[in-house]
Amino acid sequence: MRSLPAKPAFGTCIILLVIACALLAPLIAPFDPNDQDILNSLAPPFSTGDGGRHWLGTDRLGQDILSRMIFGTRVALTVAFGAAAASAAIGVPLGLAAGFLGRAVESAVLVLADMILSIPFILLALVIMSVLGASLLNLVICFAAVRWAQFARVSYSLSLELREKDYVMACRAGGISLGRTLLVHVLPNMLGPITVILTLELAYAILMESGLSFLGLGAPPEIPSWGGMLQEGRDELDTAWWLTTSPGLAIMATAIACNFIGDWIRDRLDPRTQGVLR
Amino acid sequence: MSGAEPVLEMRDVGVELAPLGGAARRITSDVDLALHAGRTLALVGESGCGKSVTALAAMNLLAPPLRLGTGHILLRTPGAAPRDLTRLSPAELRAARGGQLGMIFQDPMTALDPAFQVGEQIAESLRAHLGLSRRAAHDRAVELLQLVGIHEPERRVRAYPFQLSGGMRQRVMIAIAVACSPAVLIADEPTTALDVTVQAQILELLRELGARLGMATLLITHDLGVVAENADTVAVMYRGRIVERASAEALFTAPAHPYTRGLLASLPPLDGPRERLRPIPGQVPPAGVADADCPFVARCPEAMPRCLAARPALTAIAPEHEAACFLHATVAA
């Protein structure tokens, strides 16, 4: 087997590391992420506190940054995967319907998608989250309510291409029902591009979740999240750089990792770049 | 033409092109075709004359912006009353397509789903129409591959389309089309995308299957060589209308319409001195039918004043031979 090029290999390592942290969080975190130690607040990295060393320092309440980072992966992954999967689950069927069910459905879906995509995401998200209230489930709902449009547009344009394929026509000529044609012959042939969009949406959701948490509309405060940590550390930027540096780097690394993987899949699927890669 | 009633009969079929927000335009008009069991009807004409659209219409498969403007398509299957395909419900139409009507597409490279083994694609039709079990459909798929002359069918049934040559893929397409023993087989330029040597094999296979399974075959082609070897009857189409209809023998020995004559004259001679090819003068006309004059008048070497004044109707000029040309109308009158 050919070895992975550097970028996707790096991306895969980061994502695997994040997933491992999320799964094993209670085992590998040196402290309880919500354990407060006021006497030891704002301790710099590598300082020793009650019951062990704070490798990445502590925050204003004396909570261990490393442990909160490790538990923060759970929020990042839950929201990212939940948001991407929910958006795809709504958007792809709508895109297919727009492509195959005639002009009325087509116009309805596309107009709705364009409307939603023409409003800045953070604005829509602010409205939705302040109505629904801050919780992880509501975050996923918020993403799905907006980002389905991206999947709908991509799967619509793919179905425009696929519905002209002779084998889709052959299904009609062979008396295969439309539902079966879509599920068995159209959907599998659009999975490649959809996967690429999925990885890019993962990165987008991680960034946006952090952004929303930073604005106080993401994960509730008792759940450690990277965006929330950034927000808490904002006031101490001059005095305690370690509050914001670690979560900031984690957000960046995870988003970049997703993008690297997505780019790589896209290049692999695009016949025009095949020659360049080999 | 045999005395028995045709299995598939197209009556007065006219196809329209209705673009979004534009006026509908007629692409074909007054197309009458009758397909008889075990016989092959060839539909001949140049690009854009309406051949493929007629093939789609025969299965009531037209999709927007194309639609059936006029006409009926009657399907007579043994043991059932004649049915008009234009009046069937979507479910009945689905059952008829693939069940009683099989279709072979022009390009076997794109007509098979690249994501599935060919056996699964044959089995899909069997399971949808005959309700076979997975196992039974698989076994039948192997038999069908054998029937269409694929070696080692047990192995090929698991092949993906990209693992097969063009000729083999077209054989697979034929296997799918005949899987449910349809009464009618519609082949839209089945050999255009294939090598010449493979073409002959595929046509041979189609002829053999048509005779063995008693299928009525509609063979769409622009290749007169294909017509001469494979068709029982021929209909020549020009600008969306049938301009001449005859038995294959009569058409080649005594072509009546100037367009047919021009087509035959443009074939390069196989023997004799090599000379310049003789094309039909003029431009290939745009798609769409005209009613005011003879559709061929602009390119016709024998055009007369009355050809501009009226459109000749398709009339009998000999037994089993019809042409739409005033040259013959005057003789008859």
Give the pLDDT of residue B329.
66
A184 touches chain B (CB under 8 A): yes
Check residues B147 and B272 and name the one with the higher pLDDT: B147
- Both tokens of B198, joined, read 């493979």
Domain-embedded: residue A194: yes
Instruction: Assign A2 a pLDDT band (cuts: 50, 70, 90).
Output: low
Q: How many distinct structural domains can be found in chain A?
A: 1
- A34 in any annotated domain: no
Expressed as residue numbers, the domain containing A197 is: 73-277
C-alpha to C-alpha distance for B210 and A244, rounded to whole angstroms: 77
Span B58-69, pLDDT tens digits: 888 888 788 888
Amino acid B155 reads: R
Q: Three-class SS of residue A59?
A: coil
- Rounded CA Rg of chain B: 21
Q: Among candidates B75, B3, B66, B73, which has minimal Cα distance to B32?
A: B73
> What torsion, rounded to 10 degrees, do the Cα atoms A78, A82, A83, A89 define?
170
- Interface of B to A at Cβ within 8 Å reads 20, 59, 61, 64, 93-99, 101-103, 105-107, 110-116, 124-125, 128-129, 173, 176-177
Closest CA to B313 of B298, B333, B299: B333
pLDDT reported for residue A14: 92
Instruction: Return the ∠ at Cα A246 (arms to A245 and A250), rounded to 5°.
Output: 115
pLDDT range class, residue B81, cuts 50, 70, 90: confident
Which residues lie across from B65 on neighbouring strands? none
CATH code assigned at A261:
1.10.3720.10
**CA-based nearest residue to B327, from B263, B280, B267, B259:** B259
CATH 3.30.1360.120 is held by the domain B8-231 = no
**Among the listed residues A40, A175, A151, the one whose alpha carbon sits nearest the alpha carbon of residue A99:** A151
- A102 vs B contacts (CB less than 8 Å): 64
Q: Is A164 on the interface with B (CB under 8 A)?
A: no
Task: Give a yes or no: residue A7 inside a domain.
Answer: no
| pLDDT interval class at A270 (50, 70, 90) | low
pLDDT of res. A19: 92
**Structure confidence at residue A227 (pLDDT):** 86
Residue A277 has pLDDT above 70, yes or no: no
Contact by Cβ (8 Å): B216, B36: yes
Q: Using CA atoms, how far apart are residues A1 and B327, in angstroms rounded to an integer?
A: 73
**C-alpha distances in angstroms, A200 versus A82, A264, B259?**
14, 11, 59
User: Using one digit for the tens of pLDDT, what is the confidence trace for A246-263?
Assistant: 999 999 999 999 989 988
Cβ–Cβ under 8 Å, residues B104 and B186: yes
Q: Measured between alpha carbons, how far is B186 from B219 in angstroms, rounded to an integer?
A: 6
User: Distance, in angstroms, between A165 CA and closest chain B CA?
Assistant: 7
CA distance B177 to B221: 18
Query: Looking at chain B, which residue has its C-alpha nearest residue A185?
Result: B113
Residue-range domain boundaries for chain B: 8-231
Is B107 within 8 Å of A176 when comparing Cβ atoms? Answer: no
Contact A243, A228 (CB under 8 A): no
Tokens representing A205? Answer: 């959701």
pLDDT interval class at B22 (50, 70, 90): confident
The identity of residue B56, as a single letter, is L
Q: Are B26 and B13 in contact (CB under 8 A)?
A: no
A53 within some domain:
no
Per-residue pLDDT band for A276 (boundaries 50, 70, 90) equals very low
Q: Is residue A5 part of a domain?
A: no
Q: Is B107–A166 a contact, with Cβ atoms under 8 angstroms apart?
A: yes
pLDDT digits (tens, 9 = 90+) for B295-306: 888 888 888 888
Contact A176 B176 (CB under 8 A): no
Helix (H, G, I), strand (E, B) or coil at B36: coil
**Alpha-helix residue ranges (DSSP H) falling in chain A:** 6-28, 65-100, 103-117, 121-132, 136-162, 166-173, 178-180, 191-214, 226-233, 242-269, 271-277
A166 contact B CB<8A: yes
pTM, two decimal places: 0.77
Residues with Cβ within 8 Å of B183's Cβ and at least 6 positions away in sequence, in order, are: B7, B8, B37, B75, B77, B78, B100, B101, B214, B215, B216
Q: Of A20, A34, A16, A8, nearest to A220 (Cα)?
A: A34
- Is B128 within 8 Å of A180 when comparing Cβ atoms? yes
